[in-house]
Amino acid sequence: MSKQWNELAERMAELKDLSSVIGLLSWDQETVMPAKAGSSRAEQTATIQTILHERLSHPRLGELLESLAGDASLTAAQKASVRNLTFERNRATKLPVGLVRELAETQSRSVEAWRSARASKKFSEFAPFVSKLIQIRQQQADLWGHAGERYDALLQGYEPGMSTARLEPLFANLRQKLVPLVKAIAHAEKRPDAGFVKKNAWGTDKQWKFTMHLLESMGFDLEAGRQDRSAHPFSSGANVWDVRLTNRFDEADPFSSFFSALHEGGHGLYEQGFDPALHRTYATGAPSMGLHESQSRLWENLVGRSLPFWRAFSPKLREHFGRELEGVSAEQVHGAVNVVQPSLIRVEADEVTYNLHILLRFELELALIRGDLAPKDLPGAWNERMKSYLGVVPPHDGVGVLQDIHWSWGEFGYFPTYTLGNLYSVCWMEAAEKSLPKLWTEIERGNLIPLRDWLRDNVHRNGYIEPAEPLVQRVTGAQLSEEPFLRYLWKKFGPIYGVHAA
């Protein structure tokens, strides 16, 4: 092992540790931090972000990366670390320290403002922070460089290799081909009955216990991770031995917490599945957020909303809730969790309409970054698109434009990764079905471990040794397209609603 690599490894370890600390500060802020600590947390986060930026920008790091860039003796993982860290450093060195600190402080205060505005249902309280974050992100995009589309520079931070020019036609095709299915379901005479859900009050303590059972069944290691409560479910991984998940609980709708557990559990399994040998290097981590999202959507929807899954887990559900499920079959549960109905809340949307929520957000944030939409006009534009795409209008901003936390962090360019995750998820499942002929038989028995292990071997362990699309293509043989996802939707929802593709 060369002296240059050993020195780089030490510097990478420090960078990774600093990133982990920032993640833990964020997790704490969203879960158990005292309400009055917001200002001091902003200062703490800004300090660590500044130190991280200084370490990334250090000239010696650049010298090491340059000297190792063409070193043929490096392993594939080491070459990946050099490549990935070079990309991150190049972006960091183009930003002045003052802008990095300004962003960190604004983000931390913005999250607190978002939480307050969401509670008061008034976007006007949050609008100044959106304006400030947009200005900062536009500056960053210009400093990073782009070919005329600022959004592309932001998108690279979440989905390397993706572009606005590629997303717009992909999403347009998806929207165009979703319309016949949405219309067919809207006019279908056959509809699942979810009445038993509304008839009952579902204790949050019972929900908590069932979500913990789901996480254990998935193979999520609760000695290397935990679940907590937050306003918006999310996952955060410091390393493979410390993965944090959060959930929220509603007495009127237990399935919201169940599917949040599966969703965040899918993210958590990915974080726990990275090769421990790559710990504190830049070969660990997901190649893209779309790939990360493919894991959560696979567990939440392809597995968790399937009939075999509920044939296995309905008995356990009855153990937890008893009278609330008296006389309710696995088939009825399956129907209830696959009701297609335009809704206000993205995280509670069904599989058929979910991507329309993403298209709406993609179009709005693209307009914000381009300067075609003023932040103060965001609620109106949001409501107009909600009515146009989904036929519903939010009664107030709390369940409308303020429902997601992402823009409070200035995460413009993040939302498209959700739809990309949906598209990738079907590719993974089709490949798993070919490799594991008895996959659905095992799922119907309640055994989810074969699927977890297949994903661990074929997706998780790879870390960021190769980019997202080449990895998907190598393992599944599929190109990025809307077609597999649309086939899946028709195959699943056709029988449920008695509709057929034209």
Q: Domain with 186 in it: what CATH number?
A: 1.10.1370.30
Residues 143, 168: one domain? no
Domain count, the chain: 2
- Residue 459 and residue 295 in contact, taking contact as beta carbons nearer than 8 Å: yes
Q: What is the mean pLDDT of the chain?
A: 94
Instruction: For residue 41, give its domain range.
Output: 3-147
Give the active site residue among 264, 300, 351, 469: 264
Residues 242, 363: one domain? yes
Residues 38, 73: one domain? yes
DSSP class of 452 = H
- The whole-number average pLDDT for the span 22-32 is 93
Last residue of one domain, picked from the residues 105, 120, 147: 147
Residues 184, 139: one domain? no
Per the annotation, the verdict on 264 as an active-site residue is yes
Residues 343, 439: one domain? yes
Residues 209, 142: one domain? no
Residues 130, 98: one domain? yes
- Measure the CA–CA gap between 29 and 33, rounded to whole angstroms: 5
Residues 316, 411: one domain? yes
Last residue of one domain, picked from the residues 147, 175, 197: 147
Confirm whether 155 is domain-assigned.
no
Task: For 142-171, write each residue's pLDDT tens digit.
Answer: 999 999 999 999 999 999 999 999 999 999
Of 241, 244, 228, 246, residue with least CA distance to 284:
241
Residue 487, Cβ neighbours under 10 Å: how many? 13
pLDDT at 434: 97
Residues 233, 298: one domain? yes
- pTM of the model as a whole: 0.91
Last residue of one domain, picked from the residues 120, 147, 174: 147
State the Cα angle at 292 between 204 and 45, rounded to 5°: 75
Residues 192, 289: one domain? yes
Confirm whether 295 is domain-assigned.
yes
- The whole-number average pLDDT for the span 345-368 is 94
Task: For 99-135, write each residue's pLDDT tens digit.
Answer: 988 998 999 899 999 999 999 999 999 999 999 999 9
**Is the pLDDT confidence value at 502 over 70?**
no
Radius of gyration (C-alpha) of the chain in whole angstroms: 23
Task: For 380-397, write each residue's pLDDT tens digit.
Answer: 999 999 998 888 999 999
